[in-house]
Amino acid sequence: MADEEESELSEKQKIDIAKWFLLNSPPGEIQFVAEDVKAVVNDDILYEEAASEAFPLYNKSHMISLEMPGGIGDVLVTSFGELRGTKYLDPRTAHVAVVDHIKQVCTDVRPALDEELPFAYVEEYRDETNVIKSIGWRKRCK
- Same domain? For 132 and 76 the reply is yes
- Same domain? For 54 and 98 the reply is no
CA trace torsion 17, 22, 25, 31 (10° rounding): 140
Instruction: Tell me how far the alpha carbon of residue 78 is from its chain's centroid.
Output: 5
CATH of the domain at 42: 3.30.1140.60
Give the model confidence (pLDDT) of 85-108 as tens digits: 899 999 888 899 999 999 999 999
- Same domain? For 126 and 89 the reply is yes
- Same domain? For 17 and 38 the reply is yes
- Same domain? For 47 and 85 the reply is no
The neighbouring-strand residues paired with 98 are 87, 108
Count: domains in the chain: 2
Q: 131 in helix, strand or coil?
A: helix
- Same domain? For 55 and 69 the reply is no
Give the model confidence (pLDDT) of 16-45 as tens digits: 999 999 999 999 999 999 999 999 999 999
| Percent of the chain whose predicted confidence (pLDDT) is above 90 | 65
Query: What's the domain range around 29?
Result: 8-59
Q: Tell me if 136 is assigned to some domain.
A: yes
| Type of residue at 25 | S
- Same domain? For 43 and 68 the reply is no
DSSP string, 54-68: HHHHHHHHTT-EEEP
